[in-house]
Amino acid sequence: MPNTKSAIRRVRRVKKQTLTNRLRKSKYKSVIKEISLLISQKKKKEALKLLPKLNSQVMKIAKTKAIDKKTASRKISKITKKINKL
């Protein structure tokens, strides 16, 4: 249990941050799953249409530091390569 007043506020703040980060990560994972599904079904046109959405979504999440920027870049790069291979 937090003892000081600032520690109590900090606990409250961390709870809110955890919820928002969890939401952001969930959005990020769902977009990646969606595009991976299209890649596995070999639907190149649909995957290419979804690629800008993926880029913006992942970079927004990286900007808020829910995930690392390098991780975001790596994910985008791998998915782009997979789409180009189709």
Q: Give the whole-angstrom CA distance, residue 48 versus residue 39.
A: 10
More confident residue, 7 or 1: 7
**DSSP summary character for residue 43:** -
pLDDT of residue 1: 80
Report how far residue 28's alpha carbon sits from residue 75's, in angstroms, rounded to the nearest whole number: 10
pLDDT tens profile 34-64 = 999 999 999 999 999 999 989 999 999 999 9
Nearest to 66 by CA among 37, 36, 24: 24
* Assigned architecture for domain 5-85: Up-down Bundle (1.20)
Of 32, 46, 41, the residue nearest 78 (C-alpha): 32
Residue bearing tokens 């808020």: 64
- Mean pLDDT, the chain, rounded, equals 92
pLDDT band, very low/low/confident/very high, at 2 (cuts 50, 70, 90):
confident
